[in-house]
Chains A and B, each alone.
Chain A
């Protein structure tokens, strides 16, 4: 008797899953208001890959020294601390909202329960880089290669539940948001206990990273993904942690030059993928220049503090990260940086909005809204 019941429960869940996915395949030109006032999603799902800029809890249960599942992280988030390295939303949350999706769950919450992956999954992990060895000072993390394997296992489960064709159509219309590179510099190349800066000069290192990155994106394409938003690396030389390393609190041109060098190779790499991988759309999101504008003209964006973290300790509130129960600044919307490394949610939301409907100087060859409403 018990087994019959569980069979019918599982099969009705299955039907619900299928129905929701099929519904999501219908084309929309804008996110329409459905009954109940919720926006209908522009895409079936969003899958997120990256580091602490967009990690929403994957490190919480790892033996990692890079986690944020305690106050005051999440102080402005409805549910409190989740593991996000911000006071509220990350840029991925902002983009998901504009796409009409609910908040995407972290892989750590989804892995046993495929039904909760219906709107997408967030695989991002704090300290992760393009290279497996980046970020190891924080002990445990999920590097990009492992995030890709996690995505592959999600795809396999979708295929089993929905059938290969339906799953593949759905993934092809879903959006992948990806951002890597910061940890390959901060927690690898620039880390005293790593040897990479002796093995490679800046140019050789960015070549190495770009080569790996290109292979990784191609792997995702081979797993069925077609629509990609790739964020370049931000202005690392001006984050409070780096500012605090020198007594004059100036941005580090050494760090920024390394990042600019990497970013300059990212754009042509994506162009190559667009050309060679049939049916793919790789968008290049210029976080660096958007952020640079905010740092140079903070008041234009409503910010008054651009050189110190809202929660942190020491010079520039950036020498030491935000510790449990530390009191953050009260006027968080005025701060560009939340802690020593990460932007505030106010910045994250602005970046999301600009990329959603922005022009080609920010995001190219089209913006996110255009990507989402492309005909299949």
Chain B
């Protein structure tokens, strides 16, 4: 009986989406990644990488921290909004509830602050991408138990899988003084990522939305390492090379698995444009974080003891690493409706409609 109700509700969910959103029949989003889209997974972990305390969430509904590394909604929330879906809850919250398998069909957010492609990145302090994929596999098995393999595959094939990963690996590379050249390091990242994307495909993903890394050298944390607050360009170089390789990885995947479609977002050039022409979007503060302590408010994270700015919509960055809600909103609008070269080869709206 439960299975029948579930099946019916899936169908109506699809139909409703088609009618109200008018542009997509995407039944759910599944998100994997890092703190740019973590909506609370790290709250459940024994780690120092958390945001479930003020002043995070100061502009979120109710003004309460939720685990988001942001003053308000982050990209995960905005993407859900665009698709006419509820924002997918964090996996570690869902799996605790009694009817978790049903909840899985509405979308899951596996993202964890600190996560990287490499297991060594913040090892033990977050859910690595590999761990997130394991959880995805577990969720898949639970869904199959509910409605069977074929229905689950159909559901996942129509859903969008959003992946935002790489920044933490890049920060670690820049911090370490290793021997690898930027090109070699990027090669090692993308060859690992290739296997990870294949596993996600094997679980049933057919629509990939890959969000590239931004000009991470321009985040307040790295700027504060220079006396003049300039961007740390080696980080930007690695980010740029990584994005170039991702595009080829996706093209190669498409030639290997013809039943996939993808949308790549070039966060590097999209965010760099905002940083170079901030007034176009009403920003006046490009370098300093809104919430934090020290040079550029970026030496210490946003904690209850940090001061925070009143004009949050004028700041590009919320804390030492993360964009404000305003920035996340602008970038998501581009992810959803942008054109080349910001997106390649299609945007998320077009991906959803396929």
- Is there an interface contact between B181 and A313, defined as CB atoms closer than 8 Å? no
Whole-angstrom CA separation of A328 from B106 in the bound complex: 48
Measured between beta carbons, the chain A residues less than 8 angstroms from B234 are: 319-320
Instruction: Pick from A63, A139, A192, A320: contact of B237, CB below 8 A.
Output: A320
Residues from chain A with a CB closer than 8 A to the CB of B244 are: 63, 65, 67
Q: Which residue of B lies closest to A69 (CB)?
A: B341
| Residue in B187, B236, B245, B273 whose CB lies within 8 Å of A323 | B236
Question: In the complex, which residues 234-255 of chain B have their Cβ closer than 8 Å to any Cβ of chain A?
Answer: 234, 236-237, 240-241, 244-245, 248
With contacts A65-B241, A324-B268 known, is A193 near B184, CB below 8 A?
yes
| Residues of chain B lying within 8 A (CB to CB) of residue A138 | 183
Does the CB pair B183–A137 fall under 8 Å?
Answer: yes
CB A65 to nearest CB in B, in angstroms, measures 5
CB neighbours of A321 from chain B (8 A) = 237
A325 at the interface (CB under 8 A from B): yes
Interface SS of A by simple majority: loop
Q: For window 180-213 of chain B, which residues contact chain A by CB distance below 8 Å?
A: 181, 183-184, 186-187
Compute how far the CA of A313 lies from the CA of B245 in the bound complex, rounded to whole angstroms.
Answer: 22
Q: Is the CB of B273 within 8 A of A313?
A: no
> How far is it, in angstroms, between the C-alpha of A145 and the C-alpha of B166 when the chains are bound?
36
A65-88 vs B, CB cutoff 8 Å, 1 = contact: the mask equals 101000000000000000000000
Q: Which residues of chain A from 185 to 239 have any CB-CB distance to chain B below 8 Å in the complex?
A: 192-193
A303-342 to B contact mask, C-beta < 8 Å, 1/0: 0000000000110000111011100000000000000000
Smallest distance from the beta carbon of B33 to chain A beta carbons, Å? 23
Q: Could you tell me if A63 and B273 are in contact, using CB atoms closer than 8 angstroms?
A: no
Q: Which residues on A sit within 8 Å (CB–CB) of B272?
A: 324-325
- Chain B hits for A320, CB < 8 A: 233-234, 237
- Judge whether A65 and B276 touch: CB under 8 Å: no
Query: Among B179, B186, B268, which residue has its beta carbon within 8 angstroms of that of A65?
Result: B186
Q: Are A314 and B233 in contact (CB under 8 A)?
A: yes
Report yes or no: B276 in contact with A313, Cβ–Cβ below 8 A. Answer: no
CB closest chain-A residue, reference B269 = A324
Query: Scoring B residues 268 to 303 as 1 if CB is less than 8 Å from chain A, else 0, what string do you get?
Result: 110011001000000000000000000000000000
A65 touches B236 (CB 8 A): no
Assembled-state Cα–Cα distance A341/B57 (Å): 47
- Docked Cα-Cα span, A376 to B332, in Å, equals 64
Q: How far is the CA of A314 from the CA of B187 in the complex (A)?
A: 24
A193 vs B276: C-alpha distance in the bound complex, in angstroms?
Answer: 36
Residue of A nearest to B341 (CB): A70
Which of A138, A192, A325 has the most chain B CB within a 10 Å cutoff?
Answer: A325
User: Is B183 touching A65 in the complex (CB atoms < 8 A)?
Assistant: yes
Interface string of B135-149 (1 = CB under 8 A from A): 000000000000000
Residues of B within 8 A of A137 (CB): 181, 183-184
Chain A residue numbers with a CB within 8 Å of B233 are 313-314, 320, 323
- Which residues of A are found within 8 Å of B236, using beta-carbon distances? 323
25 interchain pairs, CB-CB under 8 A: A63-B244, A65-B244, A67-B244, A137-B181, A137-B183, A137-B184, A139-B183, A139-B245, A193-B181, A193-B184, A313-B237, A319-B234, A320-B233, A320-B237, A321-B237, A323-B233, A323-B236, A323-B237, A323-B240, A324-B268, A324-B269, A324-B272, A325-B269, A325-B272, A325-B276
- Top 8 nearest A-B pairs by Cβ distance? A63-B248, A313-B233, A137-B183, A320-B233, A65-B183, A320-B237, A65-B241, A325-B272
Give B contacts to A, CB under 8 Å: 179, 181, 183-184, 186-187, 233-234, 236-237, 240-241, 244-245, 248, 268-269, 272-273, 276
Interface of A toward B, CB cutoff 8 Å = 63, 65, 67, 137-139, 192-193, 313-314, 319-321, 323-325
* Beyond known contacts A137-B181, A139-B245: 12 more, CB 8 A cutoff: A63-B248, A65-B183, A65-B186, A65-B241, A138-B183, A139-B183, A193-B184, A320-B233, A320-B237, A323-B237, A324-B272, A325-B269
